[in-house]
């Protein structure tokens, strides 16, 4: 006969990494159980995971489990992120051993996962926290009674400085020692030069190799390799489409597009991804035209998060109303277990830039396109990559640079100019003077203006 059992699980760590403990408070209709343990060198996340694993293992497989944890890392990891981790074969996932164990113990069980705010006076969570600290205390006592494992390891590990890696201790005379030292220096310098050359080659190929490797992770991640090999700080012209305006209310990203720019030239590299938000797009479909049906087979954000984070990391992000895009991206990356993107990227807001240059005027993307006479594109529906293309033109025009999205034509014209130089053109413009009749008509008009308005016109001043 199955029962419904409530588990409160928690982890604690004194230092991260450091001494840690885990605890599980287990309650059913008749009685309660308290289990705990710890490790002398661990992390808080590992203890949170261990608490969940041990608590589940304590219960019979046919029981229905209702689990409360104050760790979003555990709750979202096991209910959302784990599907993406499995698809990419646990690549770059922290604590894969415990995640795989937790996944295994959950198989075939009926489990409800709930998040509860920690240290907020919730009785079950407070008890689990006490058990976790008790587990850490017991572990500390045991480690004091037994000889230090870390010290034994330290003693057994050889010191490479004492191992004579170059064989200097084998030299029988000072002359032999000098000859051997010279040989070592020559070999070492040669190896260093080779290493530096290899590192330079690797640096040149990094973006293209990363792009091809990333594209293999999911068929619907589109990364275009660079056509121009340029060197300098990366700028990424970026735009997103979302299910709504408010990331705080659960709206999600459904499309990301970004173009790479280096030294004010578009390299041709770009990234474009559609994302399944796991919720209806609602009225936002009227803006971007992306339907629920279209997004049904698209990847979840956690499935593409590593590739997107790697592509954006360290670049200067240029976006129109950047706070909107960055708030959504920060939220999505945090949910997937990453740092906030704004912590690893510089951000430039072209809307703020436009307001400072054109105060009191309309500064929407459409308004700036008209103001800077940028070729019109069909924007019946907004699209992330399309808006990024338009914004790249606007940004270059607004900051005084050449506007050209035709990369091949631009590079070809630059090459021709460098070979032939700019030809100087001299033209004699004709000077056309007014006739006597035209001058009389003009004088008549000026007098008529003055009589009608009571003031001299501009031409007479």
In this predicted model, what pLDDT tens digit does every residue of 338-350 receive, in sequence order?
A: 999 999 999 999 9
- In the annotated binding site, the residues are 10, 48, 70, 129
Low-confidence ranges of the chain (pLDDT < 50): 148-216, 401-414, 416-421
Residue whose pair of structure tokens reads 């706070």 in the numeric block: 323
DSSP 167-219: -GGG--SHHHHHHHHHHHHHHHHHHHHHHHHHHHHHHHHHHHHHHHHHHHH-T
The DSSP bridge pattern shows strands 110-115 and 32-42 to be unpaired
Whole-number pLDDT of residue 15: 78
Q: Which residues of 427-451 are buried (b: 16+ CB within 10 A; e: fewer)?
A: eeeeeeeeeeeeeeeeeeeeeebee
The torsion region of residue 201 among left (phi > 0), alpha (psi -120 to 50) and beta comes to: alpha
DSSP letter at 424 equals: P
Indicate which residue of 272, 313, 382, 442 is catalytic: 382
Model confidence pLDDT, tens digit, residues 238-282:
999 999 999 998 999 999 999 999 999 999 999 999 999 999 999
Whole-number pLDDT of residue 223: 92
Whole-number pLDDT of residue 8: 95
- In the annotated binding site for Mg(2+), the residues are 10, 48, 70, 129
The answer to whether the CB of 132 falls within 8 A of the CB of 19 is no
* C-alpha–C-alpha distance, residues 290 and 385, integer Å: 13
Alpha helices, H only, 6-65? 44-58
User: What is the value of pTM for the model shown?
Assistant: 0.45
203 catalytic? Reply is no
Whole-number pLDDT of residue 158: 43
- Domains of the chain, with CATH numbers? 4-145 (3.30.420.10), 215-412 (3.30.420.10)
């Amino acid at each position: 006969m199955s029962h419904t059992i409530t588990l409160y699980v928690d982890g604690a760590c004194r230092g991260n990494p450091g001494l840690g403990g885990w605890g599980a408070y287990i309650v059913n209709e008749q009685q309660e159980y308290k289990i705990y343990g710890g490790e002398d060198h661990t992390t808080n996340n590992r203890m949170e995971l261990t608490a969940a694993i041990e608590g589940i293992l304590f219960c019979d497989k046919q029981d229905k489990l209702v689990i409360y944890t104050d760790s979003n890392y555990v709750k979202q990891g096991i209910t959302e992120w784990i599907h993406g981790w499995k698809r990419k074969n646990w690549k770059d996932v922290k604590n894969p051993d415990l995640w795989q164990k937790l996944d295994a113990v959950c198989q075939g069980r009926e489990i409800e996962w709930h998040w509860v705010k920690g240290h907020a006076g919730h009785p079950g969570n407070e008890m689990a926290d006490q058990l976790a600290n008790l587990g850490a205390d017991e572990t500390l006592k045991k480690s004091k009674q037994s000889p230090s494992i870390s010290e034994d390891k330290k003693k057994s590990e050889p010191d490479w400085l004492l191992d004579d890696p170059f064989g200097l201790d084998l030299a029988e005379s000072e002359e032999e020692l000098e000859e051997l030292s010279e040989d070592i220096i020559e070999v070492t310098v040669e190896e260093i030069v080779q290493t530096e050359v290899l590192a330079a080659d690797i640096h040149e190929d990094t973006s293209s190799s990363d792009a091809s490797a990333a594209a293999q992770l999911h068929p619907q991640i589109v990364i275009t390799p660079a056509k121009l090999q340029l060197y300098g700080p990366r700028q990424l012209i970026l735009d997103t489409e979302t299910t709504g305006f408010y990331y705080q209310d659960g709206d999600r990203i459904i499309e990301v597009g970004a173009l790479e720019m280096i030294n004010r030239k578009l390299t041709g590299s770009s990234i474009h991804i559609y994302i399944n938000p796991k919720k209806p797009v609602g009225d936002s479909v009227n803006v971007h035209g992306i339907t629920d049906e279209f997004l049904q087979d698209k990847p979840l954000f956690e499935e593409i998060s590593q590739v997107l984070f790697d592509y954006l990391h360290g670049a200067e992000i240029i976006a129109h109303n950047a706070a909107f895009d960055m708030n959504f991206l920060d939220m999505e990356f945090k949910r997937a277990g990453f740092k906030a993107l704004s912590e690893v990227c510089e951000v430039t807001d072209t809307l703020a830039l436009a307001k400072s240059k054109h105060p009191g005027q309309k500064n929407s993307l459409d308004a700036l396109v008209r103001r800077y006479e940028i070729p019109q594109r069909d924007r019946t529906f907004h699209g992330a990559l399309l808006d990024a293309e338009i914004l790249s033109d606007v940004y270059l025009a607004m900051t005084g640079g050449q506007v050209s999205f035709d990369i091949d034509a631009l590079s070809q014209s630059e090459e021709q100019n460098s070979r032939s130089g700019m030809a100087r053109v001299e033209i004699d413009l004709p000077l056309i003077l007014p006739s006597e009749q035209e001058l009389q008509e003009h004088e008549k008009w000026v007098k008529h203006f003055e009589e009608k308005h009571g003031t001299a016109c501009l031409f007479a001043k």
